[in-house]
Amino acid sequence: MNFQDIDVKKKKLDQARPLPVHSVKSLLNHVLIDWTIKSIHRLVLKGIQDENAGVYRKENVLIGGASHRPPDHVVVPELMERFVETVENEWSTLHPVERAAKVHAEFVKIHPFIDGNARLWRFRMAREIEKIY
């Protein structure tokens, strides 16, 4: 099957059950952001913990020296989905510093990965703050 065949089939599907443009855009943004988070995490852990790189945790964890206990691993995918929606919808108009602080606090609370959460988020925080300049 080539790309032209795929385009023809997609067009038929779209005609059979069209989605509003805002739904498609929202879905695309969500998928890209989730993919981006996992991809950056994969880079952060490359050569350190390849088996956990870019994968939401599949076990419960404790954070050394912290009183906060991250949520059960079973709910991490759902929490990350809500996290992405909140960042893109509710927090999209906030000042970059306020947004960066809120995003950071929520991300570390979820603690979605076995390892590398802080390293990933330091990188991500820098990107949020770059929006100021």
**Is 118 known to sit in a ligand binding site?**
yes
Cα dihedral 60, 66, 67, 70 in deg (nearest 10): -30
User: Nearest 5°: phi and psi at 20?
Assistant: -60, 150
Given 30, 68, 104, 111, which residue is catalytic? 111
**Is 16 known to sit in a ligand binding site?**
no
* Integer angstrom CA distances of residue 77 from 16, 22, 112: 30, 23, 8
**Is 35 known to sit in a ligand binding site?**
no
What whole-number distance in Å separates Cα of residue 77 and Cα of residue 83? 10
**Is 47 known to sit in a ligand binding site?**
no
**Is 17 known to sit in a ligand binding site?**
no
**Is 50 known to sit in a ligand binding site?**
no
What whole-number distance in Å separates Cα of residue 7 and Cα of residue 14? 10
Residue 76 · residue 96 · CB < 8 Å: no
**Is 121 known to sit in a ligand binding site?**
yes
Q: Is 111 a catalytic residue?
A: yes
Residue ranges at the known binding site for ATP: 115-122
Residue ranges at the known binding site: 115-122
**Catalytic center residues:** 111
